[in-house]
Homo-oligomer: A and B are copies of this chain.
Amino acid sequence: MTARPVMTREEVEAFLDREFPQIHLDGRIYRVEGVGDLAGRMSMAISGRHVRPGGTVSGPAMMTLADLAFYATILANIGPVGLAVTTNLSFNFLRKPALRRLVAECRLMKLGKRLAVGEVTISSEGSADPVCHATGTYSVPPDRA
Q: Mark A residues whose CB is within 8 Å of B.
A: 19-20, 22, 25, 48-54, 58-60, 63-64, 67, 83, 85-95, 109-110, 114-115, 117, 119, 130, 133, 135, 137, 139
Do A91 and B92 touch across chains, with their CB atoms under 8 A apart? Answer: no
For the complex, give the distance between the alpha carbons of A53 and B54 in Å. 36
Do B90 and A89 touch across chains, with their CB atoms under 8 A apart? Answer: yes
Copies of this chain in the oligomer: 4
Do A135 and B135 touch across chains, with their CB atoms under 8 A apart? Answer: yes
A107 to chain B, nearest CB (A): 10
For the complex, give the distance between the alpha carbons of A8 and B67 in Å. 34
Residues from chain B with a CB closer than 8 A to the CB of A137 are 87-88, 92, 137
Residues from chain B with a CB closer than 8 A to the CB of A117 are 87, 92, 94, 133
For the complex, give the distance between the alpha carbons of A85 and B59 in Å. 9
For the complex, give the distance between the alpha carbons of A109 and B30 in Å. 25
For the complex, give the distance between the alpha carbons of A51 and B86 in Å. 15
For the complex, give the distance between the alpha carbons of A115 and B139 in Å. 10
Residues from chain B with a CB closer than 8 A to the CB of A59 are 67, 86, 89
A55 to chain B, nearest CB (A): 12
For the complex, give the distance between the alpha carbons of A64 and B63 in Å. 8
